[in-house]
Every structure is written in C-alpha cells, then in structure tokens.
Amino acid sequence: MNDQQLQLLTQVRPYVTELFKHKVDPHFVFHNLEHTQQVVAAAEELAAYHNLNDEDRLTLLLAAWFHDTGFSSGKAEDHEKESIRLATEFLKSKGIEDEIIQRVTSSIQATHMPQSPLSLIEKIICDADLYHLGSNDFKKMNDHLRQEQEFYFNKQFSKKEWRQRNIEFLESHQYFTDYAQRMREPKKQEWIRELRKKQGDKEVKHTEAMEISPYSFDVEAGEGKNDNAEKKRAERIRKEAERGVQTVFRLTSGNHIHLSQMADTKANIMISVNSIIISIMFSVLLGRLEYYPHLAIPTLMLAVVSLLAIVFAVLAIRPSVTSGKFTEEDIRNKETNLLFFGNFHKMELQEYNWAMNEMLKDRDYIYGSMIKDIYFLGIVLAQKYRYLRISYNIFMYGLIIAVLAFCISTFWAR
C-alpha cells in the first residue's frame, strides 16, 4: 500500500476504537471492539492468501473496521445501515473517491444476515465476520453472543434451545472463499458434531423465534406470535425475497456479459490468427507459386479457409443497433426496455428522463425490463456463439484438409 492508503487505515483505527469505547453499549459483549479487531485480522489473512491488490485490500480493511460500528446507535436491527452512514461520512471527510466508498458500503451490506456476497472482497469480509465458527474460540464467542442476545431481547434461552439455534445456523452456514472452506470448515463441522452429541434426543421443536439465526437481530426473539413480531417477520421475508431476486438478476446479467466478452475474445483470436496466415501467404507463398505450381490448389484452399473463418468471426462480433426510438404509448404499455441503449439512443434527454421516471415508479415494469434485457442478451449470445462455432469448425477442419492437400501435392510432385 502507498503512504496515503496506510495513513487512512492509521486514522480509521482510533476513530472506530473511540466509537466502540464511548458510544457502543457495553452490553454488546459479542459485537464489540475485540470482535472487530478479530474480523480485521481475519480479513488481513484472507487478503494475503488471495493476493489482493492495494486498492482491494484497502477497501476490504475499511469495510472490516466499519462493519459493526452501527451498534453505536444503540440498536442492533439493521445496524449495517448505520455502519454504512458512519463509513460514508468518515471517508468523504477524508476525500476518498466515491467508487471506493461504494465498494466499502457494498461490502458492509453483504454481511447482513443472511449473507449475500457477490464480489471476492464481499466474500472475504463475510467469511472474516464469522471466522470464529471454525476456530477454537467458538465456545467463548458463542457464550458472549448468548449473553448479548439475552440482554437485548430480555429473554433467557435454555441450553437446549440455544444449542438447537446454533446447530441450525451452523448447518445452514457456508464459507464463501476456498481458503476458509479448507482452513475453517473442518473445525466448524467438529463443533456441529459436538453440539449434536450434547443435544442428543433433547432436540427442541423448531419455533418462529428460532427462525432467526443467533447472529440476527431482525426480529425480537421474545415477541412470540404477537402482531408486531408477525409484521417484522413478514417484512424480513419480503426484504430477503427482494434481495434474492436482485441477486438473481445481477448474477445472470453478469454471467451473460462475461460470456459475451469471452465470445468477443475468441472471435478476435480467430481474426488475428487467420489474418496472420493470409499475410504470410500473400507475402511468401504467392511469390513462389511459379516455382512450385503444384502448391497452388492447397494454397488457394488455405486462403479460402482463413477468409471464411474471418468472415464468421466478424459476424459473431459485428454490432447491430436498433431504431433507438420509443413512443409515449410504448412506455405506457411497458413495451420498451429502457435498460438497453439501442432503444433510446435517438431520443432527447428530456424524453428519456421522463420515461425512466415512469419505469422506476412501476416495480413490474422494472423487473419486466430486466427480464427482457437478460432474454435478448441470451439471444445475442446464442447468435454470437453460433457464428463463432462455425468459424472455429471451418478453421479446424479446413486447416486439416489444407495441410493434407499440401502433403499430397508435395508427394505427387516428386
């Protein structure tokens, strides 16, 4: 890391330390400064293993320091939002770029239960946050967590109920990085076996209060089935479903774009290779055909093969742009996908702004546009890979035939 990045981390440490010492309720005996320091240390270990670059490492460590600072508000529910606010204010005061701030806040949000990391940095901080599940400190940390939740919810958990909650959580939990899976998962499985052995035939009935993991504060465990708890539970389920839908769209679109980039790369390779072959033929072979007339047909075959391979490779990456216009009726009827530039590139900014605002008001229109976007990305991908497959087949089989033709012509010329 450069001096500026190291200086920023040096400033973050005392800032977060002061927050935990003076603003976080001491009854939070699990989500405290010690836990944050352990998460930072785990993040450092995982960052070293994955050989993160300086910017990624800085982003990860900033998120690790800030991820639980939201407990300073005195509330545990959705503490990630307060953590994000504190991180954003601090980093903006230090003149940090918006891109880094956005990545830090995304990483903090990824630690919200249930964890939903996308990038490598998000996966690392999620694993670091629950690193103790696969360590010798699990019992001690789990006792602290139980003490914290009993105070916060004003409810005493029996040993068998607490064990059951932990068994269910540990069995549903997964580490996201290869390193954590190798180094921490085996120990976590040992804790599961030990908890199950202690639980024996004392397994308690799964209740609504236990549907929340020991690490979540989204629903008050002591509320039982009253209306407030039901509303909170329904809201939590709705939020989780919404987040799941968004994750599906994001992953699917990302996969399609990645496949499209792969197709473009393969097409460029095919164009480059065959262009070199044609250049060599024109500069070397054609000038020598008068001395080797028996090679004329094989040379012509190779030239045709290379030319056809180039043509289909170009067809695979050749862009096609649609009309770029839409009407007010199209927007009212939700028929235009405003997420694709080809549908609006000829429209005025004012018209596009109006159309986007109309779409953003309608959840169904937004999801419908995203579905259309993914569908047509798939159509374009299918066409790209079809042309690309033809290009590679022509090159592979054509090259074999051309080489055989060269060998046969040379043999018969003798």
* Alpha helices (H) in 119-226, listed in sequence order: 120-129, 138-153, 159-172, 178-183, 185-199
- What is the predicted pLDDT for the residue at 237? 66
Mean pLDDT to the nearest integer, 137-147: 91
In terms of average pLDDT, the best of 158-162, 308-312, 357-361 is 308-312
Structure tokens belonging to residue 214: 């020991």
Assess whether pLDDT exceeds 90 at residue 395: yes
- What is the predicted pLDDT for the residue at 255? 86
The helix/strand count (H/E) of the chain reads as 15, 0
pLDDT, tens digit, for every residue of 10-43?
Answer: 999 999 999 999 898 888 988 999 999 999 999 9
Structure tokens belonging to residue 79: 């503490």
- What is the predicted pLDDT for the residue at 240? 66
* Pair 229, 220: CB distance under 8 Å: yes
Burial of 132 (0-12, 13-18, 19+ CB in 10 A): buried
Phi, psi of 74, rounded to the nearest 5 degrees: 90, -10
Mean pLDDT to the nearest integer, 182-190: 92
pTM value is 0.54
Cα torsion 26, 29, 34, 36: sign: negative
Q: Average pLDDT over the chain, rounded to whole? A: 85
- What is the predicted pLDDT for the residue at 222? 43
| Look-up of token digits 């690193």 | 131
- What is the predicted pLDDT for the residue at 216? 66
- What is the predicted pLDDT for the residue at 177? 92
| Look-up of token digits 């998460």 | 39
- What is the predicted pLDDT for the residue at 211? 47
| Furthest C-alpha separation in the chain | 98
Q: How far apart are CA 132 and CA 145, in angstroms?
A: 12
- What is the predicted pLDDT for the residue at 108? 92
Phi, psi of 347, rounded to the nearest 5 degrees: -90, 155
Q: How far apart are CA 143 and CA 147, in angstroms?
A: 6
- What is the predicted pLDDT for the residue at 230? 58
Assess whether pLDDT exceeds 70 at residue 98: yes
**Displacement of CA 284 from its chain's centroid (Å):** 50
- What is the predicted pLDDT for the residue at 271? 94
- What is the predicted pLDDT for the residue at 236? 61
Q: Which residues contact 14 (CB under 8 A, 6 or more apart)?
A: none
| Look-up of token digits 């330390």 | 17
**C-alpha distance from residue 335 to each of 53, 342, 355 (Å):** 44, 14, 12
* Pair 29, 152: CB distance under 8 Å: no
Q: Which residues of 140-159 are buried (b: 16+ CB within 10 A; e: fewer)?
A: ebbebbbebbbebbeeebee
- What is the predicted pLDDT for the residue at 231? 59
* Alpha helices (H) in 284-341, listed in sequence order: 296-317, 328-332
Q: How far apart are CA 404 and CA 336, in angstroms?
A: 53
pLDDT, tens digit, for every residue of 362-387?
Answer: 888 888 888 888 888 899 999 999 99
pLDDT, tens digit, for every residue of 194-252?
Answer: 988 888 755 545 444 444 567 766 544 444 444 555 555 566 666 667 777 777 888 88
**C-alpha distance from residue 233 to each of 2, 77, 291 (Å):** 46, 12, 86
Radius of gyration of the chain (CA): 30
- What is the predicted pLDDT for the residue at 350? 87
Grouping H, G, I as helix, E, B as strand and the rest as coil, residue 130 is coil
Omega cis (within 30) before 214? no
pLDDT, tens digit, for every residue of 289-342?
Answer: 777 788 788 888 999 999 999 999 999 998 877 778 888 888 888 888 888 888
- What is the predicted pLDDT for the residue at 289? 73
Mean pLDDT to the nearest integer, 30-59: 92
